[in-house]
Amino acid sequence: MDTVTGTKISIQGVTKIFSGKRGEVTALKALSMDVQDGEFLVIVGASGCGKTTLLNLVAGFDKPSEGRILLDGEPVTGITPECGMIFQQYALFPWKTVQDNVEFGMKMKRMPVKQRRERAARFIDIVGLKGFESTYPHHLSGGMKQRVSIARSLANDPKVMLLDEPFAALDAMTRQVLQEQLVRIYEKHRKTIIFITHSIDEALLLSSRIVVMTARPGRIAQEIVNDLPHPRNAEVQLSSRYMALKRTIWDSVQAEVMKSMEVEAD
């Protein structure tokens, strides 16, 4: 992408060890990578490879056992609203209407009511939920809930958006619609995005760069710059370049899955 101007997030030698009842688990080991400003980075990996752990560290929910994470050159020391998180389970507030959910971050910033009303309305419109402002989340479908969650994050104007398998619980049709919507939002708002998935197709459709992570402890197995042309329509998806990329990623993901299964069998 030509708008990439500099390093947004710098992950430097990060190790994360969890100590539990059954001893210590190394979720990440000496992981280093940079995320450029305006980049759409997709992290692919087998389950349990520490992808979510990595996002939690970037968002400041957890602290690395070793190493550090920089956001715009400053170390991340606590939970920061600069990194807006989108969860697979939506995490909408059930007691708040769509409007109030989207307004939440702005309310926390003590933005005047009128201003946040208008801003929320704009983002509700962007995700195509106009007319659902006064609906409570439990009346919405999964896809609609995730769109509210995306609007809620965007309205809070984060520098970085962290998406943790956001579409994994949705049916194939809805997933495709949301993927296209996310790409449009990305192209318009130019947020830096870190997106986690275990779907190689999703990674190829969305990303500007793909990182494949190893089985636990998580490290980088492979890094691929995704140069597929936009829009990534059916034609692109049937191209030989797409197939070649998919095969490369598949091979390294599969190797990691086999490895993690061997570890579990031990």
Partner 1 sequence: MNVDTPAKALAISIISLVLFITTWELVCRMGFIEPLFMPAPSQILTRAIKMIDNGQLIAHTLASTRRVMVGFIVSSLVAIPFGIFLGSSRFFMAVFDPLISLLRPLPSMSWIPLSLLWLGITETQKYSIVFMGSFAPSLLYIIEATKGIDPLLIRAARNLGASQLDVMREVILPGALPQIIAGLKVMLGIAWTCIISAELVAAREGLGFMIMNGKEYFQTDTVLLGMVMISITVMVIDVVFRKFERRLLPWTR
Please, are residues 200 and 250 in contact by the beta-carbon 8 Å criterion?
yes
User: 262: exposed, middle or buried (C-beta count within 10 Å: 0-12, 13-18, 19+)?
Assistant: exposed
Size of the chain in residues = 266
A 10 A CB-CB count for 223 gives: 11
Return the DSSP state at 215.
S
Least separation in angstroms between residue 102's CB and partner 1 is 10
* Radius of gyration of the CA atoms of the chain, in A: 19
20 binds partner 1 (CB under 8 A): no
| Range in contact with partner 1 (rule: CB under 8 A) among 85-93, 117-125, 176-184, 241-249 | 85-93
Token pair 């299964």 in the structure block, residue: 261
Whole-number minimum distance, CB 79 to partner 1, in Å?
A: 5
For the chain, give percent helix, strand, coil, nearest 5: 40, 25, 35
Question: Shortest distance, CB of residue 224 to partner 1, whole angstroms?
Answer: 29
> In the set 85, 163, 194, 221, which binds partner 1 (CB under 8 A)?
85
Can you tell me which of 14, 71, 83, 160 binds partner 1, judged by CB under 8 A? 83
Query: 79, 113, 243, 263: which one contacts partner 1 (CB under 8 A)?
Result: 79
Q: Pick from 1, 26, 34, 61 the residue near partner 1 by CB under 8 A.
A: 61
> Is the CB of 61 or the CB of 201 nearer to partner 1?
61
Tokens of 186: 């990305």
Among 4-12, 41-49, 78-86, 229-237, the segment contacting partner 1 (CB under 8 A)? 78-86
Using the rule CB under 8 A, give the single segment among 3-11, 151-159, 188-196, 205-213 that binds partner 1. Answer: 151-159
Query: DSSP code of 113?
Result: H
Strand (E) or helix (H) holding 264: helix 240-265
SS3 3: coil
Question: By the criterion CB under 8 A, which residues form the site for partner 1?
Answer: 59, 61, 79, 81, 83-85, 87, 89, 91-96, 104-105, 107-109, 136-138, 152-153, 156
